[in-house]
Amino acid sequence: MPPKLCALCNTSRPILKRPKTGQQICKSCFFLVFETEVHNTITESQLFQSGDRVAIGASGGKDSTVLAHIMKTLNDRYNYGLDLFLLSIDEGITGYRDDSLETVKQNQKEYNLPLKILSYSELYGWTMDDIVAQVGRKNNCTFCGVFRRQALDRGAAMLGVDHIVTGHNADDVAETVLMNIMRGDIARLGRCTAICTQGEDTIKRSKPFKYTYEKEIVMYAYFKKLTYFSTECIYSPDAYRGHARTFLKDLEAARPSAIIDIIHSGEAFEIRDEVKRGQKLQQTCKRCGYMSSNDLCKACTLLEGLERGMANAGITDKGVKQLNAAGPTPDNLRTIPFFQMNTVGNSGPSPSPNPWPLDSGPSG
Structural domains of the chain, ranges and CATH numbers in brackets: 1-44 (no CATH), 47-279 (3.40.50.620)
305 annotated binding-site participant? no
Alpha-helical (H) ranges within the chain are 27-44, 62-78, 97-111, 120-124, 128-135, 140-159, 170-183, 186-189, 214-223, 241-254, 258-268, 273-277, 298-307, 317-325
pLDDT class for 341, splitting at 50, 70, 90? low
* Averaged pLDDT, 10-25: 93
Report pLDDT digits (tens) over 151-193: 999 999 999 998 999 999 999 999 999 998 888 877 777 788 9
**Mean pLDDT estimate for the chain:** 87
pLDDT at residue 350, rounded to an integer: 38
Q: What is the pLDDT of residues 198-250, one digit of tens each?
A: 755 578 999 999 999 999 999 999 999 999 988 888 887 666 788 888 999 99
From CA 316, how far away is CA 318, in angstroms rounded?
Answer: 5
pTM above 0.85? yes
Above 50 in pLDDT, residue 353?
Answer: no
* 59 annotated as ligand-binding: yes
Residues 6+ positions from 294 with CB-CB distance below 8 Å: 280, 283, 301
Higher per-residue confidence, 310 vs 55: 55
Q: Is the model's pLDDT at 297 over the cut of 50? A: yes
Which pLDDT band, with edges at 50, 70 and 90, does 60 fall under?
very high
**Per the annotation, does 363 bind a ligand?**
no
Confidence of residue 323 (pLDDT cuts 50, 70, 90): confident
Report residue 309's pLDDT band, with 50, 70 and 90 as the boundaries: confident
What is the mean predicted confidence (pLDDT) over 317-344?
78
| pLDDT exceeds 80 at position 258 | yes
268 is in an annotated binding site: no
**Contact in structure between 202 and 149 (CB atoms under 8 Å):** no
Residue type, 14: P
Annotated binding-site residue? 162: no
